[in-house]
Amino acid sequence: MMYWIVGAVVFLIVLYIFVDREIYFYEGTHLGPRLQGWLYDRWAKKYDQGKQASQAHDAEMLAQPLLQALQDVPQPFVLDLATGTGRLPLALLRAPDFNGHILALDISLGMLEQAAAKLADYKTGVTLLRQTGWPLPFPDESFDLVCCLEALEVMPEMETPLAELFRLLRPGGMLLTSRGTEASGRRAKVVSAPDFVRLLERQGFTRIEITPWWKLFDRVLACKPGTLPPAGPRRLDEVLLCPACGRQALTETPDSLHCRQCSRTLPITPEGIILL
């Protein structure tokens, strides 16, 4: 009997450590996109509460450097991967000088619903999409700016998302991302600043700048070498590929996107979120 009790106690301790470490500390990194998305759905309504201090500087630390870098792109086309509750789109769309359009993706419908509410006054400037897998459904070199903030550390690995962002960025375009700092305590996911530079260089990025942002993250800017004319304003059906057949054959209706090639239907929620 005593062995069963000891075994049960050990099991509960191990379960507690797993839940505390893998779910709350690493935010479901190793549990797969569907379960991780479900976890973020549960956290979505309170997600911004712990980020108010850093978000107060988003205009200065995020929007203005990007607008400066994109000053020769009158209507930049932007991809924000892992947009969460729409932090970056809000910072850009609030800036009077931003006249572009943002495609904002996340694995969590709950987070995107918070973003939709937050961005309600800027609907014409942003399109929200729920995306859970790779590759991302866009043609090569589609965007003037690609972003992924506070998210690489909670993905299973960093190479795949960075390779996708490099593929989708036009030559001459800019990457905005972040590096989780040692202060985060996530030792298994922290990449030192020199190693992070080398990671980006392996993907092909150049002119890499790492700037202290706030306690848990550094801001990282980088460029894709080469030159192509700006992507500029583009309709959704010009850039979004059908996730089933990979063709550029989507027709938009009030509540869905329909693929003319394979008949796949992508629902659009009442909040305007496209479910890929």
**Burial readout 3-13 (b: 16 or more C-beta within 10 A, e: otherwise):** eeeeeeeeeee
Per CATH, domain 54-234 is 3.40.50.150: yes
- Give bridge partners of residue 267 from the DSSP assignment: 256
76 pLDDT tier (thresholds 50, 70, 90): very high
- Give bridge partners of residue 174 from the DSSP assignment: 145, 223
Residue 204 has pLDDT above 60, yes or no: yes
154-172 tens-digit pLDDT: 888 999 999 999 999 999 9
Q: Which residues contact 198 (CB under 8 A, 6 or more apart)?
A: none
What is the domain partition of the chain in residue ranges? 54-234, 237-276
16-52 tens-digit pLDDT: 445 555 554 556 566 667 778 888 888 899 988 878 8
For the segment 222-240, the average pLDDT, to the nearest whole number, is: 93
For the segment 45-67, the average pLDDT, to the nearest whole number, is: 89
What is the chain's Cα-based Rg? 20
SS3 label, residue 52: helix
List the one residue out of 164, 163, 156 whose CA is nearest residue 189.
Answer: 156
- Residue linked to tokens 């089933």: 244
Map 161-213 to HEC letters: HHHHHHHHEEEEEEEEEEEECHHHCCCCCCCCHHHHHHHHHHHCCEEEEEEEE
pLDDT reported for residue 36: 81
pTM of the model: 0.90
